[in-house]
Structures are given as structure tokens and as C-alpha cells.
Structure 1
Amino acid sequence: MSQVQDVKQAIDILEVIGQRLQLQRAGSNYKAVCPFHSEKTPSFFVNQDLQRYKCFGCGRSGDALSFLQEYEGMTFGEALEQLADQAGITLERFRPSSQEQRGKSLLEVLDLAKEYYHFLLTQHRLGGLARDYLKQRGITAESTKVFQLGFAPAKWDGILTYLTKKKKYSPQLLEEVGLIVRRNGRQYDRFRDRLMFPLKDHRGQVVGFAGRLLNDQAQEAKYINSPETSLYHKSKLLYGYHELRQEIRKAGQAVVMEGELDVISSSQAHLNNVVAIKGSALTSDQARLLKRLVTKVVLALDTDAAGVTATKRAVPVIEQAGLELRVASLPAGKDPDELGRSNPKLLRQSVSQAVSVYEFIIEAALAAHDATTPDGKRYIMQEVAPYISAI
């Protein structure tokens, strides 16, 4: 018997799906609202005897492996490995090497750091000012829980002491994942006095952090991120991808924004099919992640000159991934975070009325140059021509 069959026989599809969906008995089957398309009446059925699922609304069907691939956005190998772990089976070709064992320890350290920061934000007196900050920005307790926000205290050895003294992990592991910095023979916390955003990969594993200052007037960088590590690669992650993946899949399109707070404020504005590229440059790896869930993308980047440039640069990346692209026109001077808080209806409307990328390119060129002058007309043609010729 193959390893795949071993795993399939060892797991129960009812348990796998039941961990993710609210199942109700329906005769000899179980039913739920389908996670793969929008519906109100359940048409998604699971048969425990056959170890199969089928949706009579959208036609999706398969076994536990295919369900994980569809629902979690996993590859076949990732789904097989997760089910094998759940069943207590060690796959021969996936037998962990010493390097993989170390990778597991690194993930454990990052997950404990996430819990530490989250506890301080939600339950400890040290997180009082951070809680006030979230209240001021209108970030709800539900969002804090969903995105597992945290707070790094204004201490040089907060996470260092917690993970090395209490949890007995080596400082080398903390340094390897970017939680601490070593300088002049001294080790100290990288993130201090900051609101913390756990950064997760497509499987939901914490691989890094972003930290935002609570005081915008401080003479430090407003945001700092984990450095590039063996686990964290900024160009391969999309903030909110794991948390909102089901809403993205149901909507049939992903709305791409720049930062963490854009995603959180938008989700609170009932625009839940959103992700952030953490900057202004969409990468081919990020486009491929989106391709796992949707066929359509709406860009909702900032409206400044940098945002317009970033939108133009994203066009070939998105098209090469085989995705349909439209662009949302936000009010001048407003980013999705601000608009989501001040006028959520207008944010949703801006996305629903997104225009084709070619219309956006033309409008941006007309806004930047005077079409009544010869020079202005020439500049407009120079900017528009490369995109029109590609149609």
C-alpha cells in the first residue's frame, strides 16, 4: 500500500472537515454551508462511509486531501504532510532532517512570541496604551483576535527573557528568526514599544512580525519588519491571506492593498476579500498565491505618485500569472485604512466600481499632463502606448 493510501485510511474526513466547518447531520450524511461559493442554504455534503465530500451548488467534490488543498490553499505535498502528522504517520520521503527539525523549533519560537505579544496587548497592564491606541483607531476586539495582534513592551529584554529563561530556548534561535539583535557583544529585543502584527505564510504559520510605533512623532521608523530569514521572505507573503482566504475565495476576487492596517480597517468595513503586499511592489510569488484562490484581482493601492507607479508595475506581474486585473480609484489623499474608518460605504463602492487597468492608465496620464499642449499630448502618448500595444 502506498503512503498516500496509508494516510487516507488513517484519517477521517469528518474530523478533517469538522475542524474547519460547522457540520450538521443530514440522514446518513453531514451538511454545511459550502466554503467554496456563496450560499445561504447548505448544499455541501460529507459522506463518512465513502470518505468523500460534494457540493451540489458549485460541483466541488473530493476527499480529505483535495479538501485541504482547496480550503487551505495547500499543495498536494503540504496537504499530505499535514494529514500524516495528524495521523501520527512519518512519511519516508518527508522524514524530517536535522535542518527540518531546526525549522520546526524556529516556528515554535515564533508562535510563542505571537502568544506573548498577544497576551501583553489583551490582558496585561503593560498593554494599556496599546489598547487605547487600537480603540482610537477603531480596531475592534474581534479584529485583534482574528489577526492576533500584540504588543512589544518598551523593554530591551522582554521577549529575550521570556523565551530563554522561561521557555528555555537558545538565544541563537531567537536571533535566527529576527526576534533579537546582537550588537557589540550584546543581545536585545528587536521590537520595543510597538503594536505587533504576526506575519503568516499561506499555511497559517507565523514566520515573522511587523511592528508599528504607537507614537507617530517618535524619531524612529514607523514600521519595522523581521529581517529576511530562512522562514520569512517578504516577497512571498500576503498579509491577511490565511485569515481571509475563505472570504477571498467566495468573492471570486482579491483586493490588493499596501499595509496591515489597510486590511484590518477594510475587513471591519465589511470588505473581507483583502490582502496586503506590505509595501508597493507586487511580486510574481504573491501573484501565484492569489492564483490559488481567485481569477480576478483589484488593486487598491495608495493614491499618491508612488501608488500609481506601483500599480503600473504590477500590471505585467498580474497578467503573467493569468489573473484578470482591475483598479480601484480611491479619493485623493485617502488610503484604504483611512477610508475604511471614515467612510466604509465609499470604500466598498470604490472597489465595486474598479475600472480596467487600461482605463486607469489613461486617466492617470491625463491627470499628470496637460492634454491641451503638444508636450502634454506627447507625454500622455508615451505613457499610454506601451499598455495599449499590449492589448
Structure 2
Amino acid sequence: MTGSFSRDKIDEVREATDIVDLISNYLTLKKAGKSFVGLCPFHTDSSPSFHVNPNNQLYYCFGCQKGGNVFNFLMEVEKMSFREALEFLAEKANIPLPSSQADNALEKEKEGLYHVNRWAANFFYKNLFTPKGKLGLQYIKDRSISDEMIKKFGLGYSLPGWDSLVNQARHDSISLELLTKSGLIIKKSGDKYYDRFRGRFMIPVSNLYKKVIGFGGRIIVADEKQPKYINSPESPIYHKGSVLFGLYQSRQKIRELDQAIFVEGYTDLISLFQAGIKNVVATSGTALTPNQAKLIRRFSENIILLYDADNAGSMAAMRGADIFLDENLEVSIVTLPRGDDPDSYVHKYGKEKFKALLEHGFSLIQFKINTLTKQYDRQTNSGKTKIINNLLTSIARIKNSLKQNLAIKEVAEYFSLDERALMQQMENIKRSDRISYQEAKSERTKKETPLRIQTKYDVAEEDLLKLVIENGSWLPKIFKYLQLDDFKNNELKHLLSIILGIYQQNGNYDKQIITRNITDPDISSKIAGLMAQKIGKATDREQLFRDCIVFLKKRKLENMLHNLTQEIKIAQDKEIDATEYIKKYQDCQKEKRKVEDRTFFED
């Protein structure tokens, strides 16, 4: 059957989904007459402008003008395709869907990455219960991690050999190419690979749909040459700055308690969870990012930041708190006793003492005053000015006017200063930041957007897009000879991937469907230009198609030949056998000749 679903089936899934229940999983909604209101998840919202109407099952934000039905909401908030949103909601409603055509190239790759990550997680888990994995299991037991937590978080062990995972993958017919893209293995040369994670305590990182997207690995035998922790590299499914470890396991308790505790490390979270403190997430040892703040805001607006007592911990807490302020979140900062982390503290003192510790958190202003007065001398005008300007910079980020005024009052009382003077200085800081931002933005624009001369390859990519927009039948023909990554203009590549998704969702499309499905202003502007610059009626479209394919195929092959030439030279300089590279070079040359004489086109 085609890649589209019937209108009746789509309507059945939509009608089975209550929009209020769905959106309540992401933000707090309050009844207001016949509707529900809340803070918009799509823009920084200081007063509720997001409205949900249960009668017509639609949402709309009066601030950013985004709105739609249950599918639109998931597509926007989770960055799902229409098909992913439909399948997700159908599964929740226990509505079976007919099978459809394969996803576009990127989606197929993502599914492949999810599959190999899940396979690897199972491999690491099973290693714990083999003779070779005894060391890993003992390490976990020595850390007092229970069997329940091992299963709950899918913990495991990577064997110390260089190619344990590689060999098992070959045995199980798992794609080494996908394992390489996931970062689990590293390619050396030819068909030689080695494991990235060796002799490590393995922690799978899951997304909100329980799909494994990456791993953290802690070394268990001390080795000065190896880092204590290594993490999966970025991939199409893993973006570390947009993920919170443990959120899948903790999200329900966070919503229930309307509070999220932030810790740094994987084992900190696991130990707290084991102790019964389940409203906790971890940044996985990296600095907090705005994307992580936006993510947690779906589940709670009340944050407790838990940091070590040293200076580095204090500075990290202040930076993190400022990021939360930008998202209009309430922040409390709790400092652990010197020498303790959450893992050690909860093991020493237990759940109740840990919960009591949380009740003695500082507001951001209190915490900053305590920290900055240790850093600068408040008895001098210079020191006092630095402290106050730092405090006002944070206060300026508070979205709620009442809370902002209370924070100003707190600073004024502590330093015996006039509130009006502080308000004026805060406005000066805001103005200065706006000017600096605009100047920096202008300077970046000058540096980052030099005049770009259009090449013949740009023209070829654009002409293929014009053919695709004109008639959907060109789309499968293009992907018979090219891959999405063969398009080097990122804007055109993104646009083509959107159109490909629409095609596989509907089986076909027209210009109106394309424009309805594209909301990004930059992409909308580009497609408007392509639609305006039509291909002439007299143009032989088949000839144009073949010319463009040849241009882009040649570019790809010429790049490959260049890279292989370098590999051959390096191998010969190092007196390494270059036979494999020479063979690939010759094959590439043959393929290039076929492209040049166009014999590679199939009738």
C-alpha cells in the first residue's frame, strides 16, 4: 500500500486523543471558563497566553501564534514527523495502523540507530552475567547498586577487549556502519573497527519514548591514560545538550511532586532513585544548556540545583540558575557538604536526611550573595559594585515583575542601598546587554555571511528542487541515483527532506500541501523563490534531470578520488600496504567514467 493513511484512520486516532490530557503531560494547565490556559512551551512566556479548547480539540498561543490539533502539538514540541505523531497517538489509544512505506532516508537511518543502540545495550547488560563480565558486576555491587536498578536503567559492562562489540555485531549481522554512526565503534581503515567503550561500566541514555539514544561509560580499573567517563558522540539521534539522563524514569514523579532535582552524574541519579528520591534528572557531567531547561519545563517549573561545595560547583550552579531564569523557572540551590556528592551523601545519611537537606536550599539571590561576597571584597566600592552588577544581571532575567521587585528589595536591604538606584542600574544593564547583543549579532553577520557566488553545483541542486516542486514523480527518480547527503546546500537539503517526508506520508503532493507543511520563515522564503523561478516550458525536463544528476554524481566521485589519493600517499609514505586504497581508487575511476558517458542511467 502507499505511505499515506486514510482520512478515516487519522480522524479515528485524533478523536481518541484528548488534547487536554496530552498537553497536560508537557505543561501545567489551569481551567479558565470553557478553556484551559498555561505558559506556552514554544516561546518564553511570562503570563499564560497558551489556550487549549477541549470542545474543538485545538490549542492556540496568542503570544507566538502557534496552534493546531494533537498532531501539530507533538510535531512542534517533540519535533516528530506527522507519521511519528500518528503512530505514537495510535499506540497510546490501542488503535492498530496499517503498514506503510518506509520512512525517508533520514528516518530510516534513525530507526537503524535506535535498533543498534538497543542491541548494544542488551549486549552490555548480558555481559554482566558472563564469566568475562564478572569484574563489571562486582564493580556495580561494590557501588551498592541493586539488581532492581540494574534492570530499571539497563546497566551493563563493556568487555575490555578491543573488538568484543565488533565481533558480536558480525556474529549477529548488525550493521557496522550504523554502529560507527552511533559512536559505539570506531573505523580505522578498510574493514577494521574497534570498540569505543572498553572495560567500562555502561549506562544507556534513553529518550522520552524509552529508545536508547546514547551511552555513558565509566572506567572501572584506574588508568591515567584513560578519561574517567566517556560519552557517545553526537549523532542523528543523540544531542547531549538536549537530553536529561533519567527523565524517562523520573518524569511521572516530577509531575506528581511538581519539582525536579538536578544532579551532575549518572550514578548520583541512580543512587537517589534507589533511595526512593525519584524526581531527579542528571546533566551527565556537562554544563546545563537552554535546551535542557526548556525540556524540564514541560514537567515542572520548580527546580532544585544540587551542586558540590567547591568553587567550581558554585560557579556552575550560578550559571545553571541563570539559564533557568531565562525559562521563567523557580530555582533553589542546595550545596552538599564538602567532600560529598549526592551518591555518597545518600549512602551515608539516607533518604530522610537528604530530603531535609533539600529544604535548606537558597534562592538564587541568596546563593549569589553568599558566593560573590567570598569572591569579592564587599568593603570596597570596586568589590561591592562587581557583586551588585552580577546580582542585577540575574535579576534582569526574571520574567515576573513582582518577583523581580522582591529580588531588588532583597539586594537593597542587604547592601543598605536605595531600591530606585538599583532599578535604574538594572535598566542600564539591560540596555547595555541589548546594544552589545545587536553589535555582536551585526559583527557575526558580517563575518559569517560573506558574498556567496553560486556554483554550477548549486544550480544543479536548485534545478532538481524545482523539478520536485513541479511534479512529485521526480522525487523517487532522484533518490535512485543520489542520497540526501549528496546535496551540500544545507537549506536545499532541509527543504528536500521535508518534501520527501510529505511525499512518503501522502503518496504525492502539490505546491499547496508543501507550503502548508513548511512553517520555518527561512525555508518558506526559499521555497517561494524556487516556485517563482519556474523551469521554462520549452526545457527538456528529462535532459535537465540527467544533467543535474551527472554534475552531482561527478562531484561526489571527484571528492572520493581526492580523499583516496591522500590515503594512498599517506600509506606509501608510511610504507604501509596501499593495495586496498588503490583498488578503491580504480573502482571509483570506473564509476566516474560511467557517469561521464551516462551509461549508469537505467532505461
TM-score in same-fold range (> 0.5): yes
Q: How does 1:245-264 map to 2 (within 5 A)?
A: 245-264=251-270
Q: 1:206-239 CA deviation, whole Å, 9 max, x = no partner? A: 0111100002354310001111111111001000
SS at 2:285 equivalent = coil
Q: How does 1:58-137 map to 2 (within 5 A)?
A: 79-84=85-90, 87-89=95-97, 96-121=103-128, 123-137=129-143
Q: 1:275-333 CA deviation, whole Å, 9 max, x = no partner? A: 00112421121111111111211111233222222222223321222221111121123
How far apart, CA to CA, are the structure 2 residues paired with 1:287 and 1:358? 19
* Distance apart, 1:350 and its partner CA: 2.0
How many pairs align?
338
Q: Which residue of 2 aligns with 1:171?
A: 176
Q: How does 1:271-310 map to 2 (within 5 A)?
A: 271-310=277-316
Q: How does 1:17-36 map to 2 (within 5 A)?
A: none
Quick one: structure 1 residues 129 and 357, their matched pair in 2 at CA, closer, same or farther if it must change by over 3 Å?
same
Asked if residue 384 in structure 1 is aligned to residue 391 in structure 2, the reply is yes
Q: Using the TM superposition, name which of 376-385 and 193-202 deviates more.
A: 376-385
Q: Which residue of 2 aligns with 1:367?
A: 374
Question: What is the root-mean-square deviation of aligned Cα atoms in Å?
Answer: 3.1
Query: Quick one: which amino acid aligns to residue 131 of structure 2?
Result: R
Query: Quick one: which amino acid aligns to residue 178 of structure 2?
Result: L
Asked if residue 207 in structure 1 is aligned to residue 213 in structure 2, the reply is yes
Q: Which residue of 2 aligns with 1:350?
A: 357
How far apart, CA to CA, are the structure 1 residues paired with 2:186 and 2:276? 39
How far apart, CA to CA, are the structure 1 residues paired with 2:171 and 2:273? 38
Q: TM-score, normalised by structure 2?
A: 0.51
Query: Quick one: which amino acid aligns to residue 368 of structure 2?
Result: I
* Distance apart, 1:96 and its partner CA: 1.8
8 Å contact kept, 1:257–1:300: yes
* Distance apart, 1:178 and its partner CA: 0.7
How far apart, CA to CA, are the structure 2 residues paired with 1:101 and 1:374? 62
Quick one: structure 1 residues 240 and 220, their matched pair in 2 at CA, closer, same or farther if it must change by over 3 Å?
same
SS at 2:234 equivalent = coil
How far apart, CA to CA, are the structure 2 residues paired with 1:307 and 1:84? 45
8 Å contact kept, 1:109–1:163: no
Query: Quick one: which amino acid aligns to residue 369 of structure 2?
Result: I
8 Å contact kept, 1:268–1:340: no
How far apart, CA to CA, are the structure 2 residues paired with 1:162 and 1:150? 15
8 Å contact kept, 1:280–1:307: no
Percent identical residues? 31
Choose from 208, 217, 220 the match for 2:226.
220
8 Å contact kept, 1:327–1:356: yes
Asked if residue 191 in structure 1 is aligned to residue 197 in structure 2, the reply is yes
8 Å contact kept, 1:154–1:192: yes
Asked if residue 317 in structure 1 is aligned to residue 323 in structure 2, the reply is yes
Query: Quick one: which amino acid aligns to residue 271 of structure 2?
Result: S
Q: 1:244-303 CA deviation, whole Å, 9 max, x = no partner? A: 111111111100111101101111232211000112421121111111111211111233
8 Å contact kept, 2:303–2:330: yes
8 Å contact kept, 1:260–1:278: yes
SS at 2:328 equivalent = coil
SS at 1:196 equivalent = strand
Q: 1:120-140 CA deviation, whole Å, 9 max, x = no partner? A: 12x212221112111211111
How far apart, CA to CA, are the structure 2 residues paired with 1:98 and 1:213? 36
Query: Quick one: which amino acid aligns to residue 111 of structure 2?
Result: K
Q: Which residue of 1 aligns with 2:12?
A: 6
How far apart, CA to CA, are the structure 2 residues paired with 1:169 and 1:334? 42
Query: Quick one: which amino acid aligns to residue 216 of structure 1?
Result: A
SS at 2:216 equivalent = strand
Asked if residue 180 in structure 1 is aligned to residue 188 in structure 2, the reply is no
How far apart, CA to CA, are the structure 1 residues paired with 2:370 and 2:252? 33
How far apart, CA to CA, are the structure 2 residues paired with 1:117 and 1:280? 24
Q: TM-score, normalised by structure 1?
A: 0.77
8 Å contact kept, 1:325–1:356: yes
Q: How does 1:34-53 map to 2 (within 5 A)?
A: none
Tell me which structure has the larger Cα radius of gyration: 2
Asked if residue 158 in structure 1 is aligned to residue 125 in structure 2, the reply is no
Query: Quick one: which amino acid aligns to residue 258 of structure 1?
Result: E
How far apart, CA to CA, are the structure 2 residues paired with 1:113 and 1:370? 54
How far apart, CA to CA, are the structure 2 residues paired with 1:291 and 1:385? 24
8 Å contact kept, 1:369–1:377: yes
Q: Using the TM superposition, name which of 207-216 and 341-350 deviates more.
A: 341-350
How far apart, CA to CA, are the structure 2 residues paired with 1:217 and 1:347? 33
Quick one: structure 1 residues 373 and 342, their matched pair in 2 at CA, closer, same or farther if it must change by over 3 Å?
farther
8 Å contact kept, 2:166–2:194: yes
Q: 1:4-40 CA deviation, whole Å, 9 max, x = no partner? A: 323368x899xxx9xxxxxxxxxxxxxxxxx99xxxx
Q: Using the TM superposition, name which of 325-334 and 249-258 deviates more.
A: 325-334
Query: Quick one: which amino acid aligns to residue 12 of structure 2?
Result: D
SS at 2:157 equivalent = strand
SS at 1:255 equivalent = strand
Q: 1:349-373 CA deviation, whole Å, 9 max, x = no partner? A: 2222222111111111123345456
